[in-house]
Structure 1
Amino acid sequence: MSAGRTVITPTVPKDRVISKFPQAFHADASPYQKLNFHPKVKSACSEHRTGTVGLKICKAVLVGDVAVGKTSFVNRFCHDIFDRDYKATIGVDFEVEKFSILGIPFTLQIWDTAGQERFKCIAASYYRGANVVMVVFDLTDEVSLANASRWMESATENATNPVRFLVGTKRDLLSEAAYTEVESHAVKVANELEAEFWGVSSKTGDNVVNFFFRAAALTFDAAVLREVESGPSHPRQIGNDLVKVQKQESQDLYDRGSKKSLKCCN
C-alpha cells in the first residue's frame, strides 16, 4: 500500500465469506474440474498484491424462458425470500452481492433478464461482457430445457469465455424418481453446452446458496488468474467508492434500457 493512501475494505456479511473452494453439484456434470483455487490466485491473495489483486467486479446474467423461476432464484439468494406470486420481469432487474473471497473483496452484479419474446430486443444488450452466464430452466417443463441451447448461444455471443451454468429450478415439485429422470437428460444438455449443471429449489432454498458461492468462486478465480498472468496494469484501490461507481454506471444503463424497452415493445 502506497504511503498516504487509506484503504477502506467494503463491509461484507459473514454469510458471504468464501475461504474454501466450493465444489460442483455433480463432478460428472461440470467442465470445471478444479478442486481448489489456482495456486497463483491463492498466492496473490495471501500476499495482498493489490497492484494486481484489487476490487473485483464481475457480471452474471440469468437467461431462460418466461416463468422458469429466475427472479425467485435470485431473490432467494439475495433476500432469502420466496413469493410464488412474483410478477414477470420487465426488461432487466439488477442485484449486487458483495463477497469476501480469500480475503479479497468481490462484487457480483446479477442481471435478471426477461424471458418474454417481446423483451429480447432489450435484454440482449445486457449480455455484453458477461463473466457468468446462467441459463435457467424449469425441471417440470421439458420445453424450457429444450430451449436452453438457444439461450446459451444468445447470451454468450458477446461474452469472452464466460463461466457457464445450466440451472434447473422447482426441484421441490418433483419426486425423487421423476427428478432423477429429468436430471439425467439435463446433464447431457449441460455437457453439450459445456456448462455446469445444478438442480435447485427457490421455495425450500435447496442448493441456492451453494450454487451462488460456486459461481462466485469460479468467476473470481478466473478473473484474478487472468489479471495475475497478464501482469499489473493500473493499480486498483480496495474500497467502497469503486463499487458505488460501478453500481451507479450499471443502474444508469439499466434506466436507459428500461426507457428503451418501453419504446421498443410499444
Structure 2
Amino acid sequence: MAAANRALREDRIIQHFTQSMYRERDFSGAVRNACKTGKVGEKKLKVIVVGSSSVGKTALVDRCCNRQFHSNTALTVGMDVHLERFCILGVPFTLEIWDTAGQEKHRCITASYYKNACVVVIVFDMKNANQNSWESVIGWHTEVMKHTCSCGKVHLFLVGTKKDLCTEQEIVDVNTRGIRLAEQINAEYWILSALTGEKVDDFFSRVACVAFNAAVGREVEDQEHRNPMHRERDLVDLNVDIAAERQRKCKC
C-alpha cells in the first residue's frame, strides 16, 4: 500500500462560485446559517476515485493536488491518499482524495476504502471509450452501490479523461453516450484533461462544494436531533439578526 500524501498547502478559498460550481445561494439555508454562526466543526471529507486501470485516475488527482502531469504514471498499488485544504463560506476543511488501484486483483482491497466516503468519482478514458468501457462503468457503479448503501447518500460523478486526445466528433459521440449513462446511474457528468488541466480545478472545486454542503447539512441535522430546541433558537436568533441589519441600513 502506497504511503498517504500528508503534505498540506494553504487553503483553497472558494469565494467566487462559477456556473460549474455552487453559487452561495445554492447551499442550503441551514448550512449557510451554521457557517455564519461558527457552528461547524473541523472536517475531513472523503472522496474516492475509482475506475479501470490506466484510465487516468492518478494523472487527474496529480494535476489537482500537485499542478503537474506525468505521461508515464506508475500504476497505483492499493491506494494513495492526497489531502487538499479548501475554505468554503469562511469554513476551512480538508478534502481526502483517495486514488485507488484499478486492477482486478486489488478490487477486494479497494472495497474497504468506501467507508465514510461522501463522494465517489467514476473515471473512464474518453479516447478509448467503447462498449467494454461503458460496461466497466456500470460494473464500478454496482461496486460503489454495494459498498456504500449503508453509509447514507453518496454523491456520484462520472468523469471522462483524456479529452485532449479526442477529435471534436469523438467528443460528441462520447458525450452522447456518457450523458445518457450518467443519468442512468444518477451521476453528475464531466469531461476534462489532466494533460492541459482543462476543467480540473473547476471539477474538484465542485466536488469540494458538494461534499461540504452534504457534510455540514448532516451535522446540522444531528445537532437538531440531539437538541429539539436548537432549531427554534436558531430561527429566533436569525430573525433578530435580520431585524438588526435592517435597522442599521435604515437612513431615516
Do 2:163 and 2:192's aligned partners in 1 also have CA atoms closer than 8 Å?
yes
Could you give the per-residue CA deviations for residues 217-264 of structure 1, whole angstroms, max 9, x where no partner exists? 01100111111122166xxxxxxxxxxxxxxxxxxxxxxxxxxxxxxx
1:223 to 1:150, Cα distance in 2 relative to 1, 3 A: same
Alignment equivalent of 1:161, drawn from 153, 161, 168: 153
Alignment of 1:85 with 2:82, yes or no, is no
Do 1:12 and 1:100's aligned partners in 2 also have CA atoms closer than 8 Å?
no
Q: 1:54 is matched by which residue type in structure 2?
A: G
Gaps (5+ residues) in structure 2? 1-7, 227-252
| Larger mean Cα displacement after TM superposition, 81-90 or 154-163 | 154-163
* Percent identical: 41
1:227 to 1:21, Cα distance in 2 relative to 1, 3 A: farther
- Matches of 1:166 and 1:200, distance apart in 2: 11
In structure 1, the residue matched to 2:178 is 186
Could you give the per-residue CA deviations for residues 33-77 of structure 1, whole angstroms, max 9, x where no partner exists? 99611111111111212xxx1111111111101000000000000
In structure 1, the residue matched to 2:113 is 126
In structure 1, the residue matched to 2:52 is 65
Do 1:170 and 1:201's aligned partners in 2 also have CA atoms closer than 8 Å?
yes
Alignment of 1:146 with 2:145, yes or no, is no
Gaps (5+ residues) in structure 1? 1-10, 26-31, 234-266
In structure 1, the residue matched to 2:29 is 39
Deviation, structure 1 residue 12: 6.2
**TM-score (norm. length: structure 2):** 0.79
- Matches of 2:17 and 2:141, distance apart in 1: 25
- Matches of 1:133 and 1:164, distance apart in 2: 5
Alignment equivalent of 1:18, drawn from 14, 20, 38: 14
**TM-score (norm. length: structure 1):** 0.75
Please tell me the root mean square deviation across aligned C-alpha atoms, in Å: 2.2
Deviation, structure 1 residue 22: 5.0
- Matches of 2:14 and 2:41, distance apart in 1: 16
| Larger mean Cα displacement after TM superposition, 106-115 or 139-148 | 139-148
Could you give the per-residue CA deviations for residues 99-157 of structure 1, whole angstroms, max 9, x where no partner exists? 11111111111111111111112111112221110000000122223311111221232
Task: Count the aligned residue pairs.
Answer: 214
Q: Work out which structure has the larger RCO, using CA pairs closer than 8 Å and 6 or more positions apart in sequence.
A: 1
